[in-house]
Structure 1
Amino acid sequence: MPLSADSPPLLGCDFSSAPSVRKPIVVALGAALDGRVDLAGFETFAALDNWTHWLRTLPAWVGAFDLPFGLPRELVVQLGWPLAWEPLIAHYAGLGRDEIRRTFAAFCAARPSGGKFARRQTDGPAGSSPSMKWVNPPVAFMLHAGVPRLLAAGAALPGLHPPLRVAGASRIALEAYPGLLARELIGRRSYKSDAVSNQTLERRQARADLLAALERGSGRLGLRLALDPGARDALLADAKGDRLDAVLCLLQAAWAEARRDSRPGPGYGLPEAIDPVEGWIVTA
């Protein structure tokens, strides 16, 4: 399906902080019109630098990315790190992963059981993992690898980082979480696994039910996914769920792009009072 020439391409990104040929970054491309989101195809990247370069070659896009854009304010305050977002990201990007792991592990070790991790305000309504978590999933490393590269690609992050004044360029990056939309449509049923032994018929049926709900336009986003039979079969067969997660992010990007001029707030359907250290997950 061709992309619309009337609006910037929509991107939905299933991100990895350590992409490889076996587990690449997956980007779903599409366009939205009158409540329908057309899936145009996918791009995959086995290296972070290739992903960054590709994002920069597109002069305009609105993308929803499955990685955290900020850290919990409580954590940042206790560590004495910068409380302005751009200096904070620059400081964080300058740390090695081993140092991040040791610092966060020491923070958690000093806290009581049941409250080891600090959380962002958006984690509650989104049901997302703490952005300081370094294992299962390693979202702290996803932030470390992804956000500086989004900035290097010339992206604006509404509510956190203003657009760069580059002629003809308009790249808008939004934090997304595919699990938020998936849970709304099929509850807490598991629909994916990287482990072959866990790629069961039950998970395949959950993917089928999730795709059917997306194509019907079920759920509060009010958007209907349009895809051809070949794409549907490929999404159903993708037991790891990377492409399906990218499509879920694509729907979140479409919802946000339709609200790009929403006020009050920074636009794109984001709330007015976003903590400028933590950020916010779109549609949460």
Structure 2
Amino acid sequence: MQERRFFGVDFTSAPRRAKPITVAAGGLHGAVVRLHGLTALDSLEAFSAWLAQPGPWLGGFDLPFGLPRELVVQLGWPTDYAALMAHYAALDRADIRARFAAFCDARPAGAKFAHRACDGPAGASPSMKWVNPPVAWMLHAGLPRLIAAGVHLPGLLAGDEARIALEAYPGLLARELIGRRSYKSDTKAAQTPERLIARKDMVDALEQGRTQLGLRLKLSHAQRDELVADASGDRLDAVLALLQATWAAGQPRYGWPEGVDPLEGWIASA
């Protein structure tokens, strides 16, 4: 029987050569996750083609898989997951931004955004946020492609069970490793020695298995250097998503707690 492959995907809604979607591929051997390689996808078309590869594989994708029920109900959108995602994909971003902004404007300061139940435990941005970071656009660009590829979204939408996609959030694991220290920036001037040291500390902790996931990362010297040197943090984020996905694969219901809202979904390892 073919060995299942594991992936971690650091997603961007506007991939290009300078800022691609980054994929970390690995395999599980006992409690050791061996990094097999890193791939850069510089277009959404390349991402769709990559999703079509045959299984068995399981991936953790750093993009939201759902919207807050409170928002969906307020806007009068469909409350069936497949219908909601089709509706959302059909809207253009200007329309989405206007609707989300109006929703926020009608709410009190400090509670502008609606949240999914998983946002709090994961420390994640609300999936309706359209700036800093624009996760609403990541959902808009990525999720329809996952659905079109026919992958299986556990708890949300049935698909090819040889190709399984879970929502991951690297920031959750990063905080466990280094607390609130910053470790990445796309801005050249902010790519400081302190952030370099933070990435080195993260890689050291992952190699030593110092996380609640109970997994140890196995790297070559060249891979370690590559992860530490990448000041954008994209390669390291893909590896963090890989570890979250690999952990979830060994859990009942992929680590989802009881009673997760099938409209909102859940973040692996939250």
TM-score range, shorter chain: over 0.9
Choose from 226, 229, 249 the match for 1:234: 226
Give the superposed CA RMSD.
1.0
Question: Residues of 1 paired with 2:26 and 2:2: CA distance?
Answer: 13
Deviation at 1:49, TM superposition (A): 1.1
Question: Residues of 2 paired with 1:180 and 1:59: CA distance?
Answer: 27
Kindly tell me the number of residue pairs found equivalent between the two proteins: 270
Percent sequence identity is: 61
Question: Residues of 1 paired with 2:54 and 2:234: CA distance?
Answer: 22
- 1:149 is paired with a residue whose SS is helix
- 1:192 is paired with a residue whose SS is coil
2:135 partner letter: V
Question: Residues of 1 paired with 2:76 and 2:264: CA distance?
Answer: 15
Question: Residues of 2 paired with 1:133 and 1:24: CA distance?
Answer: 21
Q: Does 1:55 align with 2:47?
A: no
Q: Does 1:218 align with 2:214?
A: no
Choose from 242, 251, 257 the match for 1:250: 242
Q: Which residue of 1 aligns with 2:69?
A: 73
Question: Residues of 2 paired with 1:87 and 1:154: CA distance?
Answer: 15
Question: Contact (CA 8 Å) 2:58, 2:165: kept in 1 or not?
Answer: yes
Alignment gaps of 5+ in structure 2: none
2:125 partner letter: S
- 2:217 is paired with a residue whose SS is strand
Choose from 20, 23, 29 the match for 2:25: 29
2:155 partner letter: G
2:101 partner letter: A
2:228 partner letter: L
Q: Which residue of 2 aligns with 1:193?
A: 185
Q: Does 1:273 align with 2:265?
A: no
Alignment gaps of 5+ in structure 1: none
Q: Does 1:176 align with 2:172?
A: no
1:15 partner letter: F
Q: Which residue of 2 aligns with 1:110?
A: 106
Question: Residues of 2 paired with 1:60 and 1:103: CA distance?
Answer: 39
Question: Residues of 2 paired with 1:22 and 1:30: CA distance?
Answer: 24
**Cα distance per residue 1:78-130 (max 9 Å; x no partner):** 00000110000000000001111111011101111000000000000000000
Question: Residues of 2 paired with 1:105 and 1:246: CA distance?
Answer: 31
Question: Residues of 2 paired with 1:154 and 1:85: CA distance?
Answer: 15
2:138 partner letter: M
Question: Residues of 1 paired with 2:106 and 2:114: CA distance?
Answer: 12
Deviation at 1:272, TM superposition (A): 2.2
Q: Does 1:39 align with 2:24?
A: no
Q: Which residue of 2 aligns with 1:85?
A: 81
Question: Residues of 1 paired with 2:2 and 2:89: CA distance?
Answer: 36
Question: Residues of 2 paired with 1:281 and 1:102: CA distance?
Answer: 27
Deviation at 1:282, TM superposition (A): 0.8
1:235 partner letter: L
Deviation at 1:6, TM superposition (A): 4.6
Scaled by the length of structure 2, what TM-score is found? 0.98
Question: Residues of 2 paired with 1:246 and 1:257: CA distance?
Answer: 17
Which 4+ runs in 1 deviate beyond 3 A? Answer: none
Question: Residues of 1 paired with 2:181 and 2:28: CA distance?
Answer: 28
Question: Contact (CA 8 Å) 2:67, 2:128: kept in 1 or not?
Answer: yes
**Cα distance per residue 1:145-193 (max 9 Å; x no partner):** 10110111221111101124xxxx6110000000000100110100000
Deviation at 1:59, TM superposition (A): 3.0
